[in-house]
A = this chain, B = another copy of it.
Amino acid sequence: MNRILMKKHNFSAGPCILPPEVLKEASEAVLNFDELDLSLIEISHRSKNVVAVMDEAVALVKELLNVPEGYSILFLQGGASLQFVMTAFNLMKSENGKAAYLNTGTWSSKAIKEAKRLGEVIEVASSKDKNFNYIPKGFEIPNDVDYFHSTSNNTIFGTQIKEFPKHEAINVCDMSSDIFSREINVADFDMIYAGAQKNMGPAGATLVIVKDEILGKSGRDIPAYLDYQIHASKDSMFNTPPVFAFYVSMLTLRWLKGLGGVSEIEKINQAKADLLYNEIDRNSKFYGTAAKEDRSNMNACFLAHEGVDTETFDQMWKAAGINGLNGHRSVGGYRASMYNALPLESVQALVDVMQEFEKK
């Protein structure tokens, strides 16, 4: 238990902090799972115990996000990067394929690059002109595209879509870094995907929520591993699943449910974000990099004003047990990632250091 109490304030951008209860249970399962006298990671994925984990994970996703009928919940491998490929393979028509993408940062840009291999990509808007420090708005989405793709939260630049654009196209969203952090209306989307390693679990699991009726219409001969319909027909056991990653994801979702679900965590996340952004705006040593109305509740990016002694600040937050505060190299400065499992106390610890530093 000491280890759990001694844990650091973990602001890592991903893989990121997970609830201590989840880590404890995961650690135990690696030694002895379900009192089987076997490790979780050395039993058949088709054993009833592992199938029960998968079933519970799917049920928790449905419950926590209030997923309507007609959607498949898939647990896959490969992260969002493989989803960039799979999305296009499954949804971009083989004849005159055309898709609309909103470019809000590094991950959107990578998704666009993959889609371009399979068809025409219309970049409906981009915030590249200002190093992706805002979310473009008021753009048009053509009616004749196969789908529209957006990225809900941009970890590197600290922006987040607060209001999703309304349109008629098939709606695909990469929610890797803010899924389960705020309420969303799944019915507004035809497909949502997310790498697990922010709010859902460890690296190695990828969640896909897809409306069944949009599948099987691209006219492509899709490699089996890239075909959502195949994974759906096999209940995400087309091949051996990464059992540990799925199990820890299930535990994390179970933890979230115990906490009161997405509406509860949204309030906590809002409180954390308010606390930190208020300090960033108030503190004379720092300033935020993202446009205020587009600020991410997950990743707060901020810089020190010119001439500020960042070396001292860096020593101070490290001494306070804070981990993972360095900004991404393409923005610099600081990035405080405040994913679901990060307690308010950790944000307070950072704010305290910022205030102490200002006084010096």
A positions within 8 Å CB-CB of B: 3-4, 6-8, 10, 12-18, 23-24, 26-28, 30-32, 36-39, 41-45, 77-82, 84-85, 110, 113-114, 117, 195, 197, 202-204, 221, 223-226, 238-245, 248, 323-324
CB neighbours of A240 from chain B (8 A): 14-15, 79, 195, 197, 203
CB neighbours of A39 from chain B (8 A): 18, 23
Find out whether the CB atom of A117 lies under 8 angstroms from the CB atom of B223: yes
CB neighbours of A223 from chain B (8 A): 85, 114, 117
Taking A14-B44, A85-B225 as given, write out 14 further A-B residue pairs in contact, using a Cβ cutoff of 8 Å, ordered by the A residue number. Answer: A15-B42, A15-B44, A15-B45, A18-B39, A41-B202, A77-B78, A77-B204, A85-B224, A113-B224, A195-B239, A204-B204, A242-B245, A244-B244, A245-B245
- A203 to B47 CA separation, bound complex (whole angstroms): 14
Q: Output the least CB separation between A302 and chain B (Å).
A: 19
- A110 to B240 CA separation, bound complex (whole angstroms): 14
Find out whether the CB atom of A41 lies under 8 angstroms from the CB atom of B14: no
Residue from A18, A79, A110, A203 having most chain B Cβ neighbours under 10 A: A203
Find out whether the CB atom of A221 lies under 8 angstroms from the CB atom of B23: no
Q: Which residue of chain B is the closest to A224 with respect to CB atoms?
A: B114
- A324 to B45 CA separation, bound complex (whole angstroms): 12
CB neighbours of A225 from chain B (8 A): 78, 81-82, 84-85, 114
Q: Which residue of chain B is the closest to A206 with respect to CB atoms?
A: B77
Task: Give the contacting residue for A202; candidates B15, B226, B242; CB below 8 A.
Answer: B242
